[in-house]
Structure 1
Amino acid sequence: MRIKRSVTSHKKKKKYIKAAKGYSGAVGRRYSLAKQQYYKSGKYSYAGRKNKKRDYRNLWITRINAAARAQGLKYNELIHGLKLANVDINRKMLSELAVNDPDGFNEYVNIAKQSLAESVQ
């Protein structure tokens, strides 16, 4: 007796149709389109995970820059001053300080200003 592939092929197709559930139009119902969209969606989600990191870093830098300029210092001067003072704090934490704890952020700004003044002399 020969083996027919209907069970395995239906199972394979069902996997892609299930993954494409909620997609609009024929993409959510037709196997060939659902399979294409499944792989394309995977590429989009991979790229999106990379872009999310980029977007958050830009947000942190924008927040730090705004808070630093309120204290009379540019973003690049603040970062350079902190590096000269050997202060190891990342941009995410600086951003959180700038938003939630302005006094703590001002301490870092003062440290950066002092180290910049010392490096000029």
Structure 2
Amino acid sequence: MLTGESPGDELPAVRAVAWDEEPTSATYHLGPYGEVPQFVTDQLIKTTEDAQATADQLLRTLLGFSAQLSISGIVNPAYEAGAVMEVVRERSHVSGLYALDAFNVPLDAKSTQSLTLRRQAG
């Protein structure tokens, strides 16, 4: 559920709801887990249309990750969680953009860094 509040002006708060409507999905809102909302408040949302568009996009983002990949490589302490990187490995048939989910930073120059990545669908 997204609530758009507009402090400092006379506009009333607006609300929007976006549910997983895919019956085969593990997070289907009428499935075994039921309706488990995430509550978001945004002071920049001022219209119902903007609230619904934002709620729909947040749902797509939450549902969109479709693959997980673990790789290792040379140490780069500049990585940040959520960073997007391209991974190409023809022999493994891996090619695409992945979000960095978790990683370690070894404290010596001879070790390799382990990265856990997620790929977002569509």
Q: TM above 0.5, one fold?
A: no
Q: Between Structure 1 and Structure 2, which shows a larger proportion of helix residues?
A: 1
Task: Point out the structure with max Rg over C-alpha.
Answer: 1
Q: Between Structure 1 and Structure 2, which shows a larger proportion of strand residues?
A: 2
Instruction: Calculate the TM-score normalised by the size of structure 2.
Output: 0.24
Instruction: Calculate the TM-score normalised by the size of structure 1.
Output: 0.24
Work out which structure has the larger RCO, using CA pairs closer than 8 Å and 6 or more positions apart in sequence.
2
